[in-house]
Structure 1
Amino acid sequence: MFDVKTVEIDLGGKTLKLETGKIARQADGAVLATLGETVVLCAVTAAKSVKEGQDFFPLTVHYQEKYSAAGRIPGGFFKREARATEKETLTSRLIDRPVRPLFPEGFYNEINVICQVLSYDGENEPDIVAMIAASAALTISGVPFMGPIGAARVGYKDGDYILNPSTKDIFEDGGQLDLVVAATRDAVMMVESEAKELSEEIMLGAVMFAHDASKKVVDAIISLAEQAAKEPWELDVQEDKSAKLEELRGVIGADVEAAYKITDKSARQDAINAAREKAREHYADLQESDPQEYLGMLKLVKKLESEIVRGSIIKDGTRIDGRKLDQVRPIEAMVGLLPRTHGSALFTRGETQAICTTTLGTKDAEQMIDGLEGLHYSHFMLHYNFPPYSVGEVGRFGFTGRREIGHGKLAWQALHPVLPDHEDFPYTIRVLSDITESNGSSSMATVCGGCLSMMDAGVPIERPVSGIAMGLILEGDDFAVLSDILGDEDHLGDMDFKVAGSEAGITSLQMDIKVAGITKEIMEKALEQAKAGRTHILGEMAKALDHSRDTVSEHAPRIETMQIAKDKIRDVIGTGGKVIREIVAETGAKVDIDDEGIIKISSSNTDEINAAKAWIEGIVAEPEVGKIYVGKVANIVDFGAFVTFMPGKDGLVHVSEIKNERVEKVTDELSEGQEVKVKLLEIDNRGKVRLSMRVVDQETGEELEDTRPPREKGPRRDGGGRDGGRGRGPRGGGRDGGGRGRGPRRDRNDNGGEDKGGKDGGDDGHMPAFLTDDE
C-alpha cells in the first residue's frame, strides 16, 4: 500500500533516518525524520498560482511541539496545544532563515512549511531534526528550492568539538558552547550560538566542524530525492531587464546617488522618496496603458538603489554615511537614567538608541516555562520592544512579533554567559530594552545597554559585554566587510553578521546570509573586524561605567541566603505551612525554601530580613546547656512557668528557680507574654528542658553567682523536705520547714514519690520538668 523510501546515515554516533511515502501523502512533500527516538514530521505545500498583484515571497514556517511527544498533557484550562511558545517561535525562525534565500528571485507562490514534533527522547533536540526534515521535504516537493541544506549542533568541551551534544554536554559538566549551523554543501547559510567567552579561532573552527557534518546530511537528502522527488516546477523565463534598468538609471540615477550620500537618515529617506516619486511621474502614462509594465518599472527602483550603493562600496570603499569600512558610529552611553528603576542605561550609537532597565526580583518572580522538557523556571529574562516610532513610522503597537522575540533571544544569549552563579546572586533578573531610535542593529544596542543597566543595578557580572553588527557586500570574487552597519546597508547587503562578547571572548554569534553562502575567508575577515569593533565599543561603555556597582540599588529587594539541614526543613515550614506563614506575617520578609534546605529571605527592609533570619536560626538551632536566652512566658502553672526561649522550644522555670527568695505565688512575679531572661540548666534524655531565672540578671542578661546554699536530702518515706527547701513526695504531703513535697500524679501515696518523684525527700529538692506537666 505504501511506497516508502528511506535513507539512513550516522550523525554524531546516532542514526539519522529520513523517510517519505507513508505519512501526509497529499502534501507536495512530506518527510518523517528520526534521530535517536526524536521524531519530527515536516509537510510542505505550495500554491500552484500567484495571487494577482503579489510582489513578495509568502513563505510561512510553523514549528510545533506536541506534548504527547514527551508523554505529557498540556497545562492550562483547555489542555491542548495553544499559541506558539517562545521556543517554537525561535525554531520556526531557525528554519526560515537559511531556507528563504534559496528560492529564486521573482518566485512569489505561497508556501507552507509545517514541522510537528511527534516523539522526543530528552536527548536529541528536535530543532535540528526539524531543520533537516524541512530541507528534505522542500527538496522532494518539486518547488524551485536551490537546496538542500544540512544542519548540525556543535558543543565544545575539554578542547574538543562535540557533534549533536546532549543537554549536559552543552553547558553542564564543563561544556562551553551551543552552536547551530545550517549550510549547503558549498557554504554556510546560518549560524546561531551562545558561548562562554570563546576565541574567534574556536568559534570559526566550530562553524567549520558543523559544516562538515552538514555535508553528510545534504548528501543523504540528495539520496532520498533521487528516489522520491517529484518533477520540478517549470518557472517562467525571467525577462532580461538590463535595458530597462539602464533607462531608469538615466531618469533617476543621479538623484539616487546624491540621496545615498546624505548622512542623516531622515533627510536621506526624503531624498530617496523624492527620486521614487520622480520615477512614478515619468512612467505615469504606463499606469493606464500597461499597468504590469508600470509596476515592473517601479520594482526596478530598488534594484537600481542596490547597484548604486553596492558599487560605491566595492569600488571606492565609500559607505552611505561616509564612514570607513571598519569605522563604528559615534557612541554615547550613560547610566542611572531613571531614578526609581534598579538599574538603567541609555545607549546611543549613531541613529540607533535603546533605553535599557534592569529589575531585580525574588524567587516568586521567576518565569515558569512549560515544554517538552517538563516544567522549569528561568531566573534571567530579557525582553525587547521595537515600537514603530523608533523608525519614524506608524503601525501596530504592543504586539510582540517573531522579530522582537528573536532579537531579544540574541541579546539574552550574549549576556547570559557572564551572569554570576544563581547561588552567589540569588535574584531573578529582568532586562527590558525599549528601542527609541533605530538605524541598524538595535539588538546589539540592547546587548550594550542591557549590560550597562545590569552593572548599574549591582549585578556582579564577570566582565562587560558589547555587540556589533557586521555587513557584507559580495560581487563575484570581490567583497567588502562593513562594521556597524546601517539599516540601508543591511537591506541592500548580503549578510547580517552579529558578534557579541567580552574582552575574554565571544558570547554570542549570529549570522544570516541573503546569497548562496559565504566562504571561510569571509568569515575570518568578519570575525577579525568585529573583534576590533567590540573592543572599541567596550572602551566607550567604560566611560559611563566600567564595572558593576558594589551593592544593589536601594530600591531593590535585599536577599539573604542561608543553608539548613534537610531534616530541619519540616520544622521551618510547619504543619501545612503554618510556621513559615507566621514568619512572613510577623516579619514582613519573603521566605523561600527548597528541597536542599537553601532558604532565601528577601525584603527591601534589612530589619525584616534580620528578624526572619533570627527566627529561622532559632528554629533550627539546638539548645545549649549553660547558655542564657531571652524568652517569653507562654503559660503559668501553680508550680512554675513555661517559657518559650527559642522558636518552637519551651522549658520550665520551676517556682524555686524564679528568685533566690521564696515565691508563694507564681503570678505575683510573672505574667503570660512577659519577656524574661533564663539560663538553660538541663535537657534530660526525653528532651525536657529545665530553666532558671534566678541566676540571670533580668536587666542586663548577665549570669549571676548562685548564692543559694547546698540543699540536704530529706527522708523518702515521709515525703518531707529539708529545712527551707523543697522535697517532692506525694501530692498533699506535709511541709517540713516550709518546703512542699510532691510526687507525680501517677504514683501518689502517703509514703512519698516513686523513683523519679523524690527519693528520700526528692533528689536535689525539685522535680524535672517532665514530671510536672500535669500539675
Structure 2
Amino acid sequence: MSISPFARKVVERTIGDRTISLETGRFAKQASGAVVVRIGDTMSLVTAMTGPGREGIDFFPLTVDYREKTYAAGKFPGGFIKREGRPSTKEILTARLIDRPIRPLFPEWYREEVQIQAGPISADRVNDPDVPSIVGASASLLLAKAPFLGPIGAVRLARVEGKLIAFPTAEEIAASDLDLVVASTAKAIVMIEGFGEELPEPEMADAIIHAHRINQDLIALQYELLDAVGQERPVHTPTPPDALKGLLLERFGHRLREAKQIVMKQERNAATKQILESAIAELIPADGEAASLAPGGPGEAASVPVPVTKDRIKNVFHAVEEVVVRDLILSGNRPDGRGPRDLRSIKCEVGVLPRAHGSAIFQRGETQALVTTVLGTGADEQRIDGIMDEYSKKFMLDYNMPPFAVGEVRPIRGPGRREIGHGALAERSVASILPPPARFPYTIRVVSDILESNGSSSMASVCGATLSLMDAGVPISDPVGGISIGLVQDDATGRHVLLTDIIGEEDHYGDMDFKVAGTQRGVTGIQLDLKNLGISEEIVRETLEQAHEARLEILRAMLRSIKRPREEISTNAPRLIQIQINPDKIGLLIGPGGKTIRRLQDETGAKIDIDDSGVVTLASTEAAGAEAARDKILAMTEGVQVGRIYEGRVSSIKDFGAFVEILPGKDGLVHVTELSSGYIANVSDVCRVGDTMLVKVISVDDQDRVKLSRKAALAEREIPDEFADRPRPAGAPDRSSGGPPRRPEGGGGGGGRGYGGDRDRGGDRGPRGPR
C-alpha cells in the first residue's frame, strides 16, 4: 500500500531521558516502506523494497546497505574527491548490524527480493544513527507487508559510574566501561554486540536483559505507527511441509546418521557426498524422467505435484542433513565425538616469523590463525573521518581468510563484509587490554591470516593477537582469550544443548553462534548471531558461564607458550621515546621556519613529532638516535644546567678562549685555560669555528653569563685529551687564573654578543666602539 503524500504520521516515546520518534508518509513515498527514526537532531531514513525473486534461487536474497552522507552533519567529504565513494568500515559494520537480527526472522520458504537502505539525513554528531537504523528497518519492513516475523527493538546501552544509559551520547560512550547493542523481539533476544572493560559475566547478563526490556517499548512504538497509518498487524504463515524432505529422510536418514558420526571432517564430507549421489541415482531414473511428489508428504494426495530434479534433491538433501545433525547433537553425539563442554586440542607458538615485530600461531582443532604484530610511529596512525568528529586510531586489527583455508577455489578480491566484521570484533575485544599511549606510544597493527578454518576463526584471531602482542613486547594488562558457544534447541519440547567450541558443521546446522572474548576477570567482547527466532534469559546466562569456563582453559594453554610480554620490543621495531616539555618552549624547539627541529633530525636521525600539549615523540630505527635527540631536546628546553655536559658548536674564537653555542641562541665561554689540562698557546690549535666540542657548564653568573670547560667534560667522560701533556714553555704567560677577561669596550666577544649572552635577546651590549 503506497501512502498518500498527505498521510504523514509521527509517533514518539520517551526511553530514559531520550525521545525516539518514528515518522512515515513524508519521505520516499514510492518505497514499499519508509520510516525516519529521530533521536535528538539525528534523523535516519530507512526504506524497505520488496520484489519478485530470481527463478531457481535456493536462498533468501536480502540486501542491506547503510550509507552516511556528510551533508547530514554539515560537512564536506574528506580527501581529494568531494563525493562519497565506496562504503567505509563504519558503514559496512552498521549494515551488518542491521542485517544480523533481521535475516533469521523471515520464513524458510520466502525467496522474494528484499532490499533495505538506511542512512542519516541529519546528524548532530552527538547521537549515532546506527542503532536507531535497526529500529527503522524493522518498522519499514512492517509497512512493506513483507512476511517479517518481527517487529524487533534495538538499543545501545552504556554504563557510566555503574548506571546503565539507553541511547547514550558520544560523550557518554567515551566515559563508559560498556558499549552494548541488543536487538530482540517481544519474546526473545535475537542479536547482541557488545564490548566491555573486563565486565564480569553476571553484570554483562544483567545489562543484556535490561536492554531486552527496553526493546519492548520500541516494539510497542512500531505497533503504534501501524495503527496510526491504519495498517493491520502482521499475521505469520507457517512453513508448508515438503514431501521430498520426508521421503529423503525416510530412505536415507539412517545412512546419513552413521556418516555424520565420522570424526574426521574430510571423511565425513566424502561419506555424505556419496549418500547424496545415491539419492539422486535412485530418485531420478536413468532415462532422465523426473518424478513428482505431493508437497504434503509421502503417500498424501497432491493438488500441485512438485517435480523431482537433481538441483531440487541437492537443496532438500541439505535440509535433511540439518535434521539428522541436530537430532544427533540433542541425543549427545557431536559430529567430531566431543562432549558438549569439550574443547578441541590447542597448540600455540610464538616468534615464528623473523622479521615481524611479533608473531604467533594459534591452532584449535582444524582452525589455524597466523597473527603478526607491527609497531609504528605516530605517522602510521589511521585517520577516521565521517559524520561524527574526526579521530585517529593507534590500534588496528585486520582479518583475512583466503579460500584455501576452507579447501575452496574462488576469486581473490578485497576484504568482504565478513572479514571486516570479524576483524572489528577481534580488534575491539583486544583494545581494552592495551597500554595507554602515554606509556606505550607506538601505533600497533595486528594482522590475522586464517590459514585453516573449521569453526570460530574470529575467536582464534583474538587468542593469536594476544600471543603476537606479547611476543612483540607490548605491555598488555592481561591476556585475552575467546571462544564460541553453539546451540541446538528443540522448539517443540524446549530442550536445548549448548556446545563449547563449535565446528563449522555445528555452526551451519545449529541455532546460535555466541562468541565471547575476555580475560580471566571478565568480558571484553561479545557477539551473538542466531538462526532461530531468539533465545531466553536462561540461555544467555548459561552461555556466558560456559564460555567463562572454556576461556580459562584456553588462557592456560596460551600462557604455556609465553607467560608474559617480552621485556624488550623487537630489534626490527622503531625506537620511540616520549618526553614532556614546557609548551612555552615549543617555538624554541621548532626554531625560525623549522630550522632547529630540522637540524636536530639531521644530526640524530630521529623523527620528531610535537603535540600542542608539549609531548614530544622521538622515533628512530636505532635506540641511540632517539636517545641523542631526547638529550638534546631536554638540554635545550630545560635551560643551561650547571654541571651538565653539552655537545656544542664553536661560534667564535678569541685570544682568551672560544665561544661555544651549547643551546640554540645560547653561548658560553671556554677560557683558554679550560680547553685542556696542558698548555695552549693559541686557541686555534684546539678548535676552529664550526667545530663541535664537548663542554661542561662550570658556572652561570648573576648576569646569566655561562662559563664552560672542555677539560672537565673530557675528564668526566674519560676521553683522552691530546693536549694534556703539553708543558708551558719558558717565558710563556701564566694563564692559570682562568677567569673571564674584561669585556672589551666595543662589545662582547663573538661578533658583538655579550659574553655568555642569549642570542635571542641580543645579549647585554655596550656602546659600539670606533671602527
- TM-score per shorter chain, which class? 0.7 to 0.9
1:88-143 Cα distance to aligned partner (Å, 9 max, x none):
00000000000011111111111110002111112211111111111111111111
Alpha-carbon distance in structure 2 between the residues aligned to 1:527 and 1:207: 11
Deviation at 1:660, TM superposition (A): 12
Contact 2:656-2:741 within 8 A present in 1 as well: no
Which of 426, 435, 444 matches 2:459? 444
The aligned runs of 1:515-664 (5 Å cut-off) are: 515-624=532-641, 629-636=646-653, 641-651=658-668
1:383 alignment partner in structure 2:
398
Partner SS, residue 181 of structure 2: strand
1:301 alignment partner in structure 2:
317
1:718 alignment partner in structure 2:
none
Structure 2 residue identity aligned to 1:33:
V
Partner SS, residue 72 of structure 1: coil
Check if 1:262 corresponds to 2:262: yes
Alpha-carbon distance in structure 2 between the residues aligned to 1:709 and 1:199: 75
Deviation at 1:69, TM superposition (A): 1.5
Partner SS, residue 771 of structure 1: coil
Identify if the C-alpha distance between structure 1 residues 478 and 26 changes in structure 2 by more than 3 Å, giving closer, same or farther.
same
The aligned runs of 1:261-300 (5 Å cut-off) are: 261-285=261-285, 288-289=289-290, 292-294=307-309, 295-300=311-316
Partner SS, residue 112 of structure 2: coil
Check if 1:511 corresponds to 2:506: no
Which of 404, 409, 414 matches 2:429? 414
Alpha-carbon distance in structure 1 between the residues aligned to 2:550 and 2:768: 79
Identify if the C-alpha distance between structure 1 residues 726 and 515 changes in structure 2 by more than 3 Å, giving closer, same or farther.
closer
Alpha-carbon distance in structure 2 between the residues aligned to 1:538 and 1:128: 33
Alpha-carbon distance in structure 1 between the residues aligned to 2:706 and 2:268: 88
Structure 1 residue identity aligned to 2:595:
K
Check if 1:403 corresponds to 2:403: no
Structure 1 residue identity aligned to 2:82:
K
Contact 1:658-1:692 within 8 A present in 2 as well: no
Alpha-carbon distance in structure 1 between the residues aligned to 2:632 and 2:115: 61
Check if 1:369 corresponds to 2:369: no
Contact 1:348-1:445 within 8 A present in 2 as well: yes
Structure 1 residue identity aligned to 2:274:
A
Structure 1 residue identity aligned to 2:594:
G
Contact 1:171-1:177 within 8 A present in 2 as well: no
Identify if the C-alpha distance between structure 1 residues 684 and 28 changes in structure 2 by more than 3 Å, giving closer, same or farther.
same
Contact 1:358-1:454 within 8 A present in 2 as well: yes
Q: Percent identity?
A: 42
Structure 2 residue identity aligned to 1:87:
K
Contact 1:500-1:509 within 8 A present in 2 as well: yes
Structure 2 residue identity aligned to 1:264:
M
Identify if the C-alpha distance between structure 1 residues 211 and 679 changes in structure 2 by more than 3 Å, giving closer, same or farther.
closer
Check if 1:499 corresponds to 2:494: no
1:72 alignment partner in structure 2:
75
Identify if the C-alpha distance between structure 1 residues 726 and 106 changes in structure 2 by more than 3 Å, giving closer, same or farther.
closer
Partner SS, residue 318 of structure 1: coil
Deviation at 1:509, TM superposition (A): 1.0
Check if 1:157 corresponds to 2:172: no
Deviation at 1:70, TM superposition (A): 1.5
Check if 1:133 corresponds to 2:149: no
2:355 alignment partner in structure 1:
340
Identify if the C-alpha distance between structure 1 residues 239 and 8 changes in structure 2 by more than 3 Å, giving closer, same or farther.
closer
1:479 alignment partner in structure 2:
496
Larger radius of gyration: 1
Identify if the C-alpha distance between structure 1 residues 309 and 667 changes in structure 2 by more than 3 Å, giving closer, same or farther.
closer
Check if 1:10 corresponds to 2:14: yes
Alpha-carbon distance in structure 2 between the residues aligned to 1:648 and 1:62: 61
Contact 1:40-1:126 within 8 A present in 2 as well: yes
Contact 2:673-2:736 within 8 A present in 1 as well: no
Structure 1 residue identity aligned to 2:553:
H
Larger RCO (CA under 8 A, 6+ residues apart): 2
Contact 2:381-2:392 within 8 A present in 1 as well: yes
Contact 1:142-1:232 within 8 A present in 2 as well: no
Deviation at 1:665, TM superposition (A): 7.3
Alpha-carbon distance in structure 2 between the residues aligned to 1:55 and 1:245: 15
Normalising by structure 1, we get a TM-score of: 0.87
Structure 1 residue identity aligned to 2:246:
E
1:195 alignment partner in structure 2:
196
Check if 1:58 corresponds to 2:53: no
Alpha-carbon distance in structure 1 between the residues aligned to 2:342 and 2:680: 91
Contact 2:42-2:128 within 8 A present in 1 as well: yes
1:594-632 Cα distance to aligned partner (Å, 9 max, x none):
111111112231211121111212221212467665533
Identify if the C-alpha distance between structure 1 residues 31 and 665 changes in structure 2 by more than 3 Å, giving closer, same or farther.
same
Normalising by structure 2, we get a TM-score of: 0.87
Alpha-carbon distance in structure 2 between the residues aligned to 1:377 and 1:325: 43
Q: Provide structure 2 residue ranges, at least 5 long, that are not aligned to the other structure.
A: 292-305, 718-723, 725-733, 749-753, 756-762
Q: How many residues align?
A: 721
Alpha-carbon distance in structure 2 between the residues aligned to 1:710 and 1:379: 55
Deviation at 1:700, TM superposition (A): 2.7
Which of 309, 312, 332 matches 2:328? 312
Contact 2:643-2:696 within 8 A present in 1 as well: no
Contact 1:198-1:507 within 8 A present in 2 as well: yes
Contact 1:142-1:231 within 8 A present in 2 as well: no
Check if 1:460 corresponds to 2:487: no
Partner SS, residue 327 of structure 1: coil
Contact 1:633-1:676 within 8 A present in 2 as well: no
Deviation at 1:549, TM superposition (A): 1.5
Alpha-carbon distance in structure 2 between the residues aligned to 1:726 and 1:239: 109
Deviation at 1:642, TM superposition (A): 3.2
Alpha-carbon distance in structure 2 between the residues aligned to 1:514 and 1:681: 80
1:266-300 Cα distance to aligned partner (Å, 9 max, x none):
11111111122222222324965469432443322
Contact 1:652-1:769 within 8 A present in 2 as well: no
Partner SS, residue 390 of structure 2: strand
Contact 1:625-1:683 within 8 A present in 2 as well: no
Partner SS, residue 218 of structure 1: helix
Alpha-carbon distance in structure 1 between the residues aligned to 2:742 and 2:353: 74
1:765 alignment partner in structure 2:
none
The aligned runs of 1:680-759 (5 Å cut-off) are: 682=700, 689-691=705-707, 700=715, 742-743=745-746
Deviation at 1:68, TM superposition (A): 1.3
1:41 alignment partner in structure 2:
45
1:223-250 Cα distance to aligned partner (Å, 9 max, x none):
1012226679999996432x43332124
Identify if the C-alpha distance between structure 1 residues 580 and 287 changes in structure 2 by more than 3 Å, giving closer, same or farther.
farther
Identify if the C-alpha distance between structure 1 residues 662 and 700 changes in structure 2 by more than 3 Å, giving closer, same or farther.
closer
Structure 2 residue identity aligned to 1:216:
D
Alpha-carbon distance in structure 2 between the residues aligned to 1:400 and 1:345: 22
Q: Provide structure 1 residue ranges, at least 5 long, that are not aligned to the other structure.
A: 712-724, 729-740, 746-755, 758-767
Moved more, 57-66 or 566-575: 566-575
1:212 alignment partner in structure 2:
213
Check if 1:434 corresponds to 2:438: no
Contact 2:401-2:449 within 8 A present in 1 as well: yes
Contact 2:375-2:445 within 8 A present in 1 as well: yes
Moved more, 21-30 or 526-535: 526-535
Which of 738, 754, 766 matches 1:771? 766
The aligned runs of 1:222-261 (5 Å cut-off) are: 222-228=223-229, 239-241=240-242, 243-261=243-261
Structure 2 residue identity aligned to 1:593:
I
1:180 alignment partner in structure 2:
181
Deviation at 1:8, TM superposition (A): 0.6
1:12-69 Cα distance to aligned partner (Å, 9 max, x none):
311111100011000000001100111100111111x222112211111111111112
